[in-house]
Structure 1
């Protein structure tokens, strides 16, 4: 939310500054001292006179993507596939494409939209190293030589990939890199970041095709999980062994 003149977090008033997120810093009780399930900190540490929402003493960690600093008051770039190719706003892993551009990475142009550099070449030079040309979308004469096998990358509804990133609580979860203070970047080591790496690699590959009919392979970018490495585990095998062979 955003804090306004009256300290409210309503979105219809004039926005003054971003409110401080409560990532893993939820109150363990309410004002009447009733317990709240999953809470981690005392009520007054959040809403009291010297609580996180009001005081100049840091009591909660700053973990949400896009904000850094002791008080989560320093905005930085958020992490998206190919940084939206420089032609879109990155919103916690989802690319809101500029007019005339589309695709999960905003890497494709509508007919009649001229090829041009994105924000990496103008207003946001700090994303330059993370924005690569999308080979399949380059104009004739600029497009690199195509390579077999051809791979078609499906555009799925966001609930299969980017929405998983939007709902994450930790900026380093589900991604392979993150922006830190000064809009510099560092690599993350969380295991599910490999899904974003693979997806981005396919989007930027010279093997990619936009023509279903000529594709040799099809890539379906459905992310399996994000935070918990035990996701999907069961006491029984997901698939039984067949004649001693294990399913992969």
Structure 2
């Protein structure tokens, strides 16, 4: 299932982007975009990905590390290998031979362009008083230059979490696939808003429209294409 955001930022060089719903601010280098996935803020340029988030410090760094490694092994593929090492500020996780991180952006699975086959991984876990700050790099073994990686590091240095007083509470609204009867995506919207809309049919194909409204203000998507497929009895929508 995809998360469908009201805003996916792709701004001019070094322009600051603030996400009040998910509570972060970051300066984006030229050509980078940002979105949220799996509870993480994800920066991307082409097929380079950087994910940032936090875990509760009360869990302890060893427990957080083991949970991160468990999830990485689950999505990294059979050829992935991981190593850990202590640093003055916390801990690093190094990885090699990872598969494409489709779980961050599932829509890439239907891309017609060739995709990197293997990735290197660098993760840092820095414990603080109330949280463990997580930063994860997925770096294609071939195809992405050192310049993009350096730009990504600069963006990470600018990343900050917003205080609770600046955040806007949000809710998740799922959008159902009219053919499979399962959610094909979800909207994260302020709790004060309402969503109206649904699927409509043109010829043999279904499309989707919706409107998010808060008083006199609204955001509307009139035409959302849905691709439905069934493989070995399991349905997938994008």
TM-score norm. by structure 1 comes to 0.19
Q: Greater strand share, 1 or 2?
A: 2
TM-score norm. by structure 2 comes to 0.19
User: Which has the greater radius of gyration?
Assistant: 1
